[in-house]
Structure 1
Amino acid sequence: MKTFMNKILSRRLLLILTLLATIFFSFVTFELNVLPLKYYIPMVVILLLFALLLYFIEKDKNDNHPIKVAFFKLVNIILAVALVFGSLSILKGSDFLASITNGGVQSVEIDVAVLKSSSYDKLASLKGKSFGANTSMGALDINKSETIIEDEIGDIKVTSYKTNNEVINALKNHEIEAMIVKEVELDSLNDIEKDFTDQIRIIKKIQIKKPRINANSAKVTKEPFHILISGTDKSGPIDTFALSDVNMIATINPTTKQVLLTSIPRDYFVDIVGMDGVSGKDKLTHSAKGGMNCTMDTIENFMGIDFNYYAKFNFTSFINVVDALGGITVKVPKYRVIGRDDGVFVTKKGHYTIKPGVNHFNAKQALSFVRERKAFVEGDAIRGKNQMLMLKAILKKCCSASIITKMDKVFESLSSSFETNMSAQEIKSLINMQIDDMASWDVQTYHLDGDASKRTSQLATVGDVTKFNKDGVFITLPDQQSIDKAKEYIQLVMKNEIVKVEED
């Protein structure tokens, strides 16, 4: 038995195993472009020399130093195992980058809805019945869903309406038995008819695929570029159209090592650009009804910029990265809280008490923190600031040395909740640049202001909203001075100048 173990643990065999592990690790890091060449070559040389050094140290013909030999053999085994696991982790990281980059095909979810009071419980029960839809916007998607329905139950009659209000009235008055509507539209129907979504039942969901959004590629390690960061609370696949609760312009300058995050209120009342059949003003969040490209076009229009990329995330699942990182520490400012003078507020979701100063959050607490708005005098403006605080804290922890032991959990938490049309190679180039210069980055934040007390009777993607409330719905009227200031900051970053955002 001892002779067998000696053969298994012979220094020659251990050398072969370590060399194979080193070759595998070197191949993986080279092929996947994980390290800059000036670090890669010395690393490979050091690993090979170390493997040879262990081989000679383990030499003990007369068995005079068994403890020393056993120790260095153990080091040899640990090195080989570490190299193999390191290679597998790098491969997993590369697979993760491949899964979230280059932008996937977008998906529009179309619902077939009936009144809850009806007896219809599945699509087949609507055979021979009348359907209705608002075809004034997104008519092509409605037509595609009509074809899919007919493939399942035969020919159907779909009455076209010009507004969502007309469709709702037709359904409630039994002029039609079912309505065809985009899933992303459902929340807006409650602005027309109080709690309308509680009065209907979805009996069929249809997925319509849309083309991917190509990047306006930049030399990401040499020139400044813009990314639209868009976040939604909708559960489900990240590629599905959903209203955006978070909209930020990330202006990144790799030369000056500065990032400017410009947050835009979700209810900003702006001209909607790039949506089929829609013109006029609406809440920025409703631009997502036309997909990510519509939100990008809309923001580009009033901010006077051109986006290079987008990064989309589902905040509900993305925030799980907080637990993967072992929690997040955020310094919370003292806000003006409704009914209190000390700045302490309780979140509506989870009923967590949050005090001004340093707070440590787990995922549930973090999500409640970034969702809260009704506790504050400034409402949605503060929610936007808290979202930026949380993103900054997550980025800071992701850039710390402690991330190495948590990468697997971080990848798992992000894989189904994050998507970008940056290429994996562009992201690797940024990582290589950071490893190469080890520079610290300065992150500045700015929040666009507006008057959130204003109301409107018309929304471009919804229509008349005075049926539910004669005064209309609340919007945030943009403050042009704030927009101009944001443009000034953005231009300075793009011109390689260092920006220091003035405190409010």
Structure 2
Amino acid sequence: MEKIKKYGKHVCWILMLSAGIYLLWSVYRFHILPMKYKLPVTVIVVAIFTFLIYAINERENKLLNGFGCVVSLLLCVCMIFLSISVVNKAHETVEAVSNGNIKTTEISVLVKKDSKFENIKDLYRERFGILKDIDRDNTDFMLNRLSSQFNSEISKVEYKDFKDELQGLLDGKTDAIIMNEGMRDAFNVIDGSFEKETRVLYTLDRKEILKNLKANNITKNSFVVYISGIDTNGPISKTSRSDVNMLSIVNPEKKKLLLIFIPRDYYVALQCPNGGCETDAMDKLTHAGLYGVETSQATISKLFNIEINYNVRLNFDTLTTLVDALGGVDIYSDQDVKLLHGNSCNIKKGTQHVDGLCALGFARERYAYASGDRHRGENQQQVIEAMLKKFTKSNVIKNYESIMNAVQGMLQTNMTTDEITALIQMQIADMTSWKVSSISVDGTGDMLSTYSFGSQPLYVMHPNEDTIQKAKEVIQQVME
């Protein structure tokens, strides 16, 4: 019995010391705490450990021995929890959402729904319909892969736009067509019969590493972030239409954050840094995302004549999880709305608290409003601002793990892990509230053909130069 007591005391302080060393190692390794907190925390931890080790090993006071052992075991449990569920979880989340400089383009081979072809090998020596200019890089990537598989040149018929390419397949002029999956999703919206008449036979992922313009010092210098909101299944790195387009102007020294909403239907000159499309071709801003986030970023950069340092991709399909983890958000509606998405939601005129499902439905809604997409953009800004405000409140720690899990699935950025960690350190160091403001740019509606979808007229919006100029002025004010 004496031996058990003797060795039991050692087990208590050894476990506590091991857990403490692991916690301090995690904090120092992941740079979660600012330096001004690290030394005091270390001193306090060492002082507590010294006292408890003394208490555990005090020979003359059995009560003190027991107290020291119980407290050390409780501390051990707490420190392991902090290490795994807080520090390591934060680092895991930062790692998951950062370094998002990989673009994934899903390219498919489609055949007629009732065709005899069962797999890609059946298309050996058959004719492929392709687009002559649009998205040619991705088409050539698929053609090269198929040529390698078949060990022969691919027989192909070139078309000017999707409509002609599809018609060629349906008329039997080709046996299969090649299409970027993001464009296929968009074409399904434009032509409802497309999905009924075709099926995907083969899919290939093309991954590319993107470059970005870094800020000189992310905690000192102002920087600009392009925020692209997508609403799609699959990995967040997948190319798709950008339904939400925003600029975030960040001034870390003055703690100012400006959000600028840009209508998805803006009729703009595409900028194609990687050659995936035709530079200066006129198209809807939402279609720029089909060629990658770097195309959307470059296009908006030219529109506002501003350097964009980073991009963030938000998947609105997972917004419900994050809003619920935050305990819901407060929104304001200027009218009663019956949501197309979220039939159980009863949105009334005025301010109200909503859960994730209703927040997503509110952010997606445009058909209930006279101004359509313009009003939807205002709603999306509201939801994003409401989430940002929730993140700054202290009680957010209650659902810490749920929030971290939701963030991992919802967003990706090309900021590095070190840059995000530096911003977290800065915020912990001063705990200053940020001044968040937002503006929108406007335009005039029209029906015009677009680069991505050829001669078929689509709804577009001509940018209002006065609102663009006003936005440029506000950007300068925030950055100075």
Query: TM-score, normalized by length of structure 2?
Result: 0.92
Paired residue type of 1:460 = Y
Task: Measure, in 2, the Cα distance between the counterparts of 1:172 and 1:13.
Answer: 76
Compute the displacement of 1:294 (Å).
Answer: 0.6
Equivalent residue in structure 2 for 1:109, among 99, 106, 116: 106
Distance 1:355 1:73, change over 3 A: farther
Pair 1:207 & 2:200 matched: no
Q: Secondary structure at the match of 1:222?
A: coil
Residues 195-242 of structure 1: per-residue CA shift (max 9 Å, x gap): 323321111111122222334233111111000011100110111111
Equivalent residue in structure 2 for 1:387, among 363, 371, 380: 380
Equivalent residue in structure 2 for 1:120, among 100, 106, 117: 117
Aligned to 2:73: 77
How large is the Cα RMSD of the aligned pairs? 2.2
Equivalent residue in structure 1 for 2:358, among 357, 365, 368: 365
Moved more, 83-92 or 225-234: 83-92
Structure having the larger proportion of residues in helix: 2
- Summarize the alignment of residues 328-339 of structure 1 with structure 2, pairs less than 5 Å apart: 328-334=328-334
Task: Measure, in 1, the Cα distance between the counterparts of 2:190 and 2:403.
Answer: 41
Equivalent residue in structure 2 for 1:87, among 83, 86, 99: 83
Paired residue type of 2:322 = V
Residues 411-456 of structure 1: per-residue CA shift (max 9 Å, x gap): 222224321111111111111111111111010011112234x221
Task: Measure, in 2, the Cα distance between the counterparts of 1:402 and 1:459.
Answer: 48
Q: Is residue 318–residue 418 contact of structure 1 (8 Å, CA) maintained in 2?
A: no
Equivalent residue in structure 2 for 1:488, among 456, 464, 473: 473
Q: Secondary structure at the match of 1:390?
A: helix
Aligned to 1:339: none
Q: Secondary structure at the match of 2:283?
A: strand
Q: Secondary structure at the match of 2:224?
A: strand
Equivalent residue in structure 1 for 2:182, among 178, 181, 184: 184
Task: Measure, in 2, the Cα distance between the counterparts of 1:389 and 1:191.
Answer: 26
- Summarize the alignment of residues 146-295 of structure 1 with structure 2, pairs less than 5 Å apart: 146-155=143-152, 156-190=154-188, 193-274=191-272, 275-277=276-278, 279-295=280-296
Compute the displacement of 1:114 (Å).
Answer: 1.4
Q: Is residue 220–residue 426 contact of structure 1 (8 Å, CA) maintained in 2?
A: yes
Query: TM-score, normalized by length of structure 1?
Result: 0.88
Pair 1:451 & 2:444 matched: yes
Aligned to 2:368: 375
Paired residue type of 1:100 = V
Task: Measure, in 1, the Cα distance between the counterparts of 2:159 and 2:75.
Answer: 69
Task: Measure, in 2, the Cα distance between the counterparts of 1:235 and 1:116.
Answer: 22
Moved more, 184-193 or 356-365: 184-193
Aligned to 1:6: 5
Task: Measure, in 1, the Cα distance between the counterparts of 2:189 and 2:76.
Answer: 63
Residues 324-379 of structure 1: per-residue CA shift (max 9 Å, x gap): 33x32213131xxxxxxxx1111111212111333333322222121111111221
Aligned to 1:131: 128
Compute the displacement of 1:318 (Å).
Answer: 4.1
Name structure 2 gaps, 5 residues minimum: none
Aligned to 2:435: 442
Aligned to 2:341: 349
Q: Secondary structure at the match of 2:265?
A: coil
Paired residue type of 1:6 = K
Pair 1:479 & 2:464 matched: yes
Aligned to 2:310: 309
Task: Measure, in 2, the Cα distance between the counterparts of 1:62 and 1:191.
Answer: 81
Aligned to 1:462: 453
Instruction: Provide the identity percentage.
Output: 30
Aligned to 1:338: none
Residues 361-414 of structure 1: per-residue CA shift (max 9 Å, x gap): 332222212111111122111211111111122222222223334332222222
Compute the displacement of 1:287 (Å).
Answer: 0.6
Residues 68-113 of structure 1: per-residue CA shift (max 9 Å, x gap): 7645533321212211222223123223222221223211111111
Moved more, 249-258 or 72-81: 72-81
Q: Secondary structure at the match of 2:421?
A: helix
May I ask how many residue pairs the two structures share in their alignment?
474
Paired residue type of 1:346 = K
